[in-house]
Amino acid sequence: MDGPSNENSQRTCSLKYDEYSALTDLSMTHDYQQLIDIFNRCFSDEYNTQLVKGDDEPIYLPADEQFSYHRVIFAHGYYASGMHEISHWCIAGEERRKLVDFGYWYCPDGRDALTQSQFEVVEIKPQALEWMFCVAAGFPFNVSCDNLEGDCEPDRITFQRKVREQVLWHLENGISSRPAGFIQALQSFYNTPPLVPALFPYPEDLA
């Protein structure tokens, strides 16, 4: 994961704001500043990268004339948005981390069937990491495949099963150093147990 990325060059949509807002009752136990502090302790020195609360759409910005460090900017202080953007950063290789938004183009809501299928393929790996991060933090995970303005209805359960398969693969085969270190830091801060398959229920069991 730390080498040049071979992922489809498509920046998929971030989670909807209402998905973040639905989790605001957890703000007392999962404050976005906690996430910022944990991420920055893990990665600020080695990767010259900081997690930053944004006031608009999430985006990744490499260092420039104004900022001497790279920025993972998440939406409006939403903890879930931070988790989602961190997962994309953990997937991006060294060359992609030199590019605005990792060199992906934005794929808005309103996708046709083909674009939705491409969206889901590209999103499996980052959302698998995001699910692992959320469990490590004791925070609810909500898979994102919404296409509210599109002409096709995504199969949320099937998509989450694919994400779960990727999670189980990681649990058996391991993950690279960045997400592994972040998971350990989350577990230490929130005092959560080791990740095991039972913590990632089959989608039908989530109802």
Six token digits for residue 137 = 């933090």
Apex CA 55: angle with CA 54 and CA 57, to 5°? 80
How confident is the model over 30-55, as a mean pLDDT?
A: 98
Q: Cα dist. 174→80, 150, 207 in Å?
A: 24, 36, 29
- On the question of pLDDT at 5 being above 70, the answer is no
Read off φ and ψ for residue 72, nearest 5 degrees. Answer: -95, 105
pLDDT at 203: 82
Q: Which two tokens stand for residue 130?
A: 């995001």
The pLDDT assigned to 121 comes to 79
Domain ranges of the chain: 10-206
Assess whether pLDDT exceeds 60 at residue 9.
Answer: no
- The answer to whether the CB of 72 falls within 8 A of the CB of 89 is yes
75: phi then psi, degrees, rounded to nearest 5 = -85, 120
Per DSSP bridges, beta strands 59-61 and 70-75 are: antiparallel
How far apart are the C-alpha atoms of 201 and 86, rounded to whole Å?
23
Dump pLDDT digits (tens) for 150-178: 454 557 888 999 999 999 999 999 999 99
99-131 confidence digits (pLDDT tens) = 999 998 666 555 556 665 677 778 999 999 999
| Residue at 186: amino acid letter | L
How distant is the alpha carbon of residue 75 from its chain centre?
12
φ, ψ dihedrals at 11, nearest 5°: -85, 110
Q: Is 149 exposed, middle or buried (0-12, 13-18, 19+ CB in 10 A)?
A: exposed
For all residues of the chain together, what is the average pLDDT?
A: 83
Q: Averaged over 38-59, what is the pLDDT?
A: 97
How far does Cα 171 stand from its chain's mean position?
17
Residue with the bigger pLDDT between 74 and 17: it is 74
Question: Half-sphere exposure (CA, 13 Å, Cβ side) for 126?
Answer: 29
Contact at 8 Å (CB) between 102 and 73? no
pLDDT at 32: 97
